Amino acid sequence: MFETLDRRNTRSAKWQMAIETVGHDQVLAFSVADSDYETAPCVKAALKKRLDHGAYGYTLADDTYKTAVLTWFERRYGWTTVKENVLVTSKVLTALSIVIESLTDDKDAVVIQTPVYHVFYPLVKQQRRKLVENPLLENDGRYRIDFKQLEACFAAGVKMLVFCSPHNPVGRVWREDELLQLIHLCKHYGVWLVSDEIHADLILPPHRFLSVGQYQALYDRLIVVQSAGKTFNLAGLQTANLIVFDKTARTRIKQRLARYFLQGSNLFGIEAVIAAYTAGDVWVDAQNRHVDAQAKKLETWLDKYYPTVKMTPLEGTYLAWLNVSALDQDGTQFEQACHDAGVVVSAGKPFSQHYTNWMRLNLACSSEQLDEGLKRLGQAFNELMKL
Ligand SMILES: Cc1ncc(COP(=O)(O)O)c(C=O)c1O
């Protein structure tokens, strides 16, 4: 499990972009958030079986599918809901886009908490909504929500918060007291709380993931958007779920999905999710142990060789978040130094304009791949220290 997989020549977006960026195929990619090892054996077996059938026609996300999703929520997160609240579409980004379009109007303000998954910026702007940033508070690489500023945004008329839970790229798994404070604040101002929970299963000990969905009794303007894409390396199969508790909102979102013929997903995505959510528990637990070991390896390596590079404590996701300002104060050199050393990481700037000298490193690879990556990253860091 979690062994090196050569993804070159497979049309992998991460690897193809890395090869094009540095100009050769010996590069190692630690950028885009998907995994460089095989999915769970139960998923691969289910896909193979379905592939062998030979007919790949229109396919329903039926009751079996929805039961698999809801029983996963129950087993893994300790809450569940009724099937009627579950809507199925292709990507999490499609779902978020449709939610914004359905529940807010042109020029309405939508808030995001930065630094955040970079696509949240165009997600809001492309719908012609006003993008409002509520930067997370950072202290020595540890992040928390700026509730005071968030309340000021709400008081100024923000209609929706697109929340990232766990938070990409800072790796926070939000605690119950934080979620409750957030929900109470949203309720007080009638703000829609849309929770992107795509990283929900990638949780490192001793942290515990809590979905905002479990607080539906407190406030019904909560929407959960999630998928098995990150957990089981299924992003290419494009299958995502929306959990919508409010009936009027659900009707509006359903109508919007129908307008663009986006209701439902695809055959292989549906089969993969059923298998993953029915029999993938043991594999996911093992993956979390693997990611934890990868994070510890990186932390130990930094402490030993580059103690001025600070890593944010990783609570969830498989994405490490590093402050490289000690090596590259204005953040103009480290990407090139990495490329020269044959390694591609994600630069901090797309996550927030204030994070130019930070970088994100994807740990979802084999331990050997990380070893080689660290060797190359070391070369890049040494070059930066000479400048
Ligand atoms: C927080 C977050 N949301 C959404 C996505 C994209 O999901 P999808 O490919 O299902 O649109 C990502 C991918 O990195 C992500 O990190």
Phi, psi of 256 (to 5 degrees): -65, -45
Environment class of 143 (CB within 10 Å of its CB; exposed 0-12, middle 13-18, buried 19+): buried
Residue with tokens 């590079």: 309
Q: Is the pTM of this model over 0.95?
A: yes
- The string of DSSP letters for 78-119 reads S----GGGEEEES-HHHHHHHHHHHHS-TT-EEEE-SS--TT
Structure tokens at 298: 């990186």
Q: Would you state the pLDDT for residue 57? A: 97
Specify the residue with its C-alpha closest to ligand 1, atom 15.
117
Neighbours of 313 (CB within 10 A): 17
Closest ligand 1 atom to residue 227 Cα is 10
Pocket of ligand 1 (CB under 6 A): 33, 91-93, 117, 164, 168, 196, 198, 227, 229, 235, 240
SS3 state of residue 32: coil
Structure tokens at 319: 């994405």
Query: Which residue(s) pair with 310 in the sheet?
Result: 323
Gap between the Cα atoms of 244 and 253, Å rounded = 9
Q: Would you state the pLDDT for residue 387? A: 75
Gap between the Cα atoms of 113 and 370, Å rounded = 30
Gap between the Cα atoms of 70 and 106, Å rounded = 34
21 alpha-carbon distance from chain centroid: 23
The residue among 91, 98, 88, 40 whose CA lies nearest residue 65 is 88
The residue among 225, 316, 227 whose CA lies nearest residue 272 is 227
- Which of the residues in the chain have pLDDT under 70? none
- Among 93, 238, 319, which residue has the most ligand 1 atoms within 8 Å of its CB, making it the best to mutate? 93
- Cis status of the peptide bond prior to 115, with omega within 30 of 0: yes
Task: Tell me, in angstroms, the distance from the centre of ligand 1 to residue 199's CA.
Answer: 8
CATH of segment(s) 44-279: 3.40.640.10
Q: Would you state the pLDDT for residue 141? A: 86
Q: Would you state the pLDDT for residue 276? A: 98
- Among 123, 126, 198, which residue has the most ligand 1 atoms within 8 Å of its CB, making it the best to mutate? 198
Task: Tell me, in angstroms, the distance from the centre of ligand 1 to residue 84's CA.
Answer: 24
- Among 17, 31, 168, which residue has the most ligand 1 atoms within 8 Å of its CB, making it the best to mutate? 168
Query: Which residue(s) pair with 364 in the sheet?
Result: none
Specify the residue with its C-alpha closest to ligand 1, atom 7.
92
Closest ligand 1 atom to residue 238 Cα is 10
Q: Would you state the pLDDT for residue 196? A: 98
Looking at the chain, the number of H-run helices and the number of E-run strands are 12, 15
Task: Tell me, in angstroms, the distance from the centre of ligand 1 to residue 387's CA.
Answer: 36
End-to-end CA separation in angstroms for the chain: 40
Q: Are β-strands 319-323 and 222-227 bridged in parallel, bridged antiparallel, or unpaired?
A: unpaired
C-beta separation of 190 from 221 below 8 A = yes
Q: What residue ranges do the domains of the chain occupy?
A: 13-40+282-386, 44-279
- Cis status of the peptide bond prior to 169, with omega within 30 of 0: yes
Specify the residue with its C-alpha closest to ligand 1, atom 14.
33
C-beta separation of 241 from 69 below 8 A = yes
pLDDT digits (tens, 9 = 90+) for 177-187: 999 999 999 99
pLDDT digits (tens, 9 = 90+) for 328-377: 999 999 999 999 999 999 999 999 999 999 999 999 999 999 999 999 99
Q: Would you state the pLDDT for residue 128? A: 96
Q: What is the DSSP code (8-state) at residue 172? A: B
Q: Would you state the pLDDT for residue 181? A: 98
Ramachandran category for residue 386: left, alpha or beta (phi over 0 → left; psi -120 to 50 → alpha):
alpha
Q: Would you state the pLDDT for residue 8? A: 96
Same fold, 13-40+282-386 and 44-279: no
Gap between the Cα atoms of 169 and 26, Å rounded = 26
Gap between the Cα atoms of 130 and 107, Å rounded = 5
> CB under 8 Å to 247, separation ≥6 — which residues?
none
- Among 119, 120, 199, 265, which residue has the most ligand 1 atoms within 8 Å of its CB, making it the best to mutate? 119
Task: Tell me, in angstroms, the distance from the centre of ligand 1 to residue 237's CA.
Answer: 13
Closest ligand 1 atom to residue 90 Cα is 10
Q: Would you state the pLDDT for residue 386? A: 87
Q: List Cα–Cα distances, 37 to 34, 212, 217, 365, in angstroms.
A: 9, 30, 39, 6
CATH, domain 13-40+282-386, list 3.40.50.720, 3.90.1150.10, 3.40.50.1980, 3.30.70.980: 3.90.1150.10
H or E element: which one contains 362? strand 358-362
